[in-house]
Amino acid sequence: MANSKSYSYQIKGNKISLLQDQYINDGASNSYGPDGKPSWTSPHETAMGGMEIEYAYSPNYEMPFLQPNINQFGLVGWTIVDGYLTFISSARNWTASPYNQIAANEYIYIGNSSRWSGIHKVQEAQTDQGSHGGVKTYTKVNQSIRYFTDADVSWDEDSGSISDIDDNFDDVFKSNADVPYIWITGSSAANANNGLISGWDIDGTIISITDALYYYYNSGEALTLVSATPHFTDDTTATIYIREAFYDPCYIVSDINVLSDESDNIDLPEYLSLALVYYLKAKLAEDAGQLDVKEYNMREFRVMVEKHESSKIAGGSRRVMGFGF
Amino acid sequence: MTVKQIMERVGMTQTGRAIAYIKDGLNEINMLAETHITTARINIIKDQRFYSLPSDAIKILDIRCKDQLNNNDEYRSIPRAIGSPISKDSDGK
């Protein structure tokens, strides 16, 4: 049975600041606990899928009927390539069927991501042997990551390691405490040589995976994420690309119809579509400098939206005492 | 209703401009009326205080956490804190 917890939050810019009361089970929930330490601190335990955010989004696209392994595929996380958001999935050849539906300049939908849910446009999709092996999008990320590449490295099956790594890797990546997850691509010997790994270790010029975990989806099981001990296949004098990555199990959907031409349907009730007409008239009036016309149309827009919301409440108002029911 | 039908009612002929304004209007409608709602689950990491909001979120409606004041693995709403916490975040994450 899980332990009861107590959280609170604040909004800090575009982030949520999550706090946890570490003294909930002691019955005290003031600013300080019985030992004089602050009660509300950063979360003091990990909880997978522990926070759920409910939000409104803009319906400027149409989703297809989801069919795992046909238009919906699992992802293990993301990284950054040349400043662009790149989604990754271990040992995945995005240029071969059925994944090659996700092609350059197509729109994709990302679901269940902790940060990147929504529509993105594909810039490039590669095989796992490529320089990034993922689905690179046009979404810019204002963040830098660690990156390393080296030619003439060797994957060794018996020792479970990658050898002949340049000394620079140690300087850049340091340890798995600094970089918990690394994304490896470049090997042509076997798909399992490429992918997302945690728990890696570096000893001089050798990356060891003895205590590591490898994250992947089995072929034919598009949405069932598996983590297991990695197993390499021998590959010598190969080029390796290693990037800092972020573990974020989510899924990608192709065949997205984004609002882009006159025949596209707007996913709104008929009444709100009429409200949208007033909004467009207001924008046109604003462009023409007719501010009084703009204000009139915006008022009509808001009135119609509020009428639509009120129409969903049946009967008269009824007030109930109490809270938290 | 299609984009063409909207354009005919407004009296516009520029499709690109119409679609841009329609997208703005959809954002405005969801800020007021929340016509399209979804949820996203985020992993809580030990000692990590800051978590990014979903990139497609227009309006946050509720934030819930697992086992919030219960032992049944239930997700319940968490309150918004006012004021600065005494304990500062040590690593900026």
A245-279 confidence digits (pLDDT tens): 999 999 999 999 999 999 999 999 999 999 999 99
User: Are residues A49 and B36, on separate chains, in Cβ contact within 8 Å?
Assistant: no
Residue A36 pLDDT greater than 70, yes or no: no
CA distance A247 to A229: 16
Q: What are the tokens at A197?
A: 């790994």
Helix pair angle (B15-33, A270-287), 10° resolution: 120
ipTM: 0.93
Identity of the residue in B42, B71, B80 whose CB atom sits nearest the CB atom of A1:
B71
CA of B72: which chain A residue's CA is closest? A2
> What integer pLDDT is reported at residue A152 of this predicted model?
87
Helix (H, G, I), strand (E, B), or coil: what is residue A167? coil
Contacts of B75 in chain A (CB under 8 A): 52
* Residue A256: partners with Cβ closer than 8 Å, 6 or more residues away: A61, A62, A63, A64, A106, A107, A108, A109, A119
Q: What is the distance in angstroms between the Cα of A165 and the nearest Cα belonging to chain B?
A: 30
List own/partner pairs for A138-145 with CB under 8 A and 24 or more apart.
Answer: A138/A84, A139/A84, A139/A85, A140/A83, A140/A84, A140/A85, A141/A80, A141/A83, A141/A84, A141/A85, A143/A80, A144/A80, A145/A79, A145/A80, A145/A243, A145/A244, A145/A245
Nearest Cβ partner of A52 from B30, B36, B75?
B75
Mean pLDDT of chain A: 89
Global pTM?
Answer: 0.84
pLDDT tens digits along A179-202: 999 999 999 888 789 999 999 998
Task: Please judge whether B41 and A7 are an interchain contact, meaning their C-beta atoms are less than 8 angstroms apart.
Answer: no
Q: Which residues of B touch A263 (CB under 8 A)?
A: 2-4
Q: What is the pLDDT of residues A149-185, one digit of tens each?
A: 999 899 998 888 999 999 889 889 988 888 999 999 9
Asked if residue A295 has pLDDT above 70, the reply is yes
Q: Inform me whether the pLDDT recorded for A322 exceeds 60.
A: no
CB of A311 closer than 8 Å to CB of A274? no
> What's the longest Cα–Cα distance across chain A?
77
- In the prediction, which pLDDT does A16 show? 93
